[in-house]
Amino acid sequence: MHQTRRTILAAASLLVGVLALATSVSAAEPTRVMAFGDSITWGWKPVEQGLNARTTDVADPTLPMITGAGLDGSAYLPAALASHEPLDVVVIMLGTNDLKAQFNRTPERIAEGADKLVQIVKNIHGGVGTTYQSPKVLLVAPAPLGGNMVFSKEPFAGGLAKSQQLGKAYAAIAEKEGVGFLDAGAVIKTDGVDGLHLSGDAEQALGKAIAAKVREMTK
């Protein structure tokens, strides 16, 4: 698991350097992008808000040591946005951890959690004491789980079939909210050794796809 994390960190750091360069409006005024997600978001720049085990909008009682907003993405997102404004684009990719059996969530309910995050970004309106416009949103549907759930088979029991439906459910949310959308499952497969994370090659492919979407959204 430590080696997997190091691989993810190295790949993600490289990729988001590409993302920052690819989406710059100019050398003087770079596009400010926040990546809000879970462990797959570790190491992203320029504004990385990735937390291992984070969900869209449900608390995880099995990890009580994470106090405050905890692992509930919707509880933490407003403060994260206000802390880093002004932002041009917020990339949201959450939902994989919502697939845990303990939460008993349907793909539609997970998509509702993602919708809640989208609405938070759309309605932030400058946060605390500022008049910045709300950032644009790129909603990314997580790729389906891999078939080799070596380390997490029991916690994610039943999650594989649900994960295969997230792309369609997230696309409907993005259309309803009028925000950008990318189905990660159409670009990469979850090919990490644990069936949850990505290989370096998959990170590169996903990073390039996200960079292209952000570039398109910030023309």
Of 69, 15, 1, the residue nearest 188 (C-alpha): 15
User: Is the pTM here over 0.75, yes or no?
Assistant: yes
Burial of 158 (0-12, 13-18, 19+ CB in 10 A): exposed
- Domain residue limits, the chain: 2-217
Within 10 A of 167 (CB to CB), how many other CB atoms are there? 22
Tens-digit pLDDT profile for residues 198-216: 999 999 999 999 999 999 9
Distance in Å from the first CA to the final CA of the chain:
39
Cα three-residue angle 201-50-119, rounded to 5 degrees:
110
Judged by DSSP in three states, 89 sits in strand
Q: Compute the distance between CA of residue 144 and CA of residue 186 in angstroms, rounded to an integer.
A: 10
Please identify, in words, the CATH class of the domain defined by 2-217. alpha beta
Tens-digit pLDDT profile for residues 80-137: 999 898 999 999 999 999 999 999 999 999 999 999 999 999 999 887 888 899 999 9
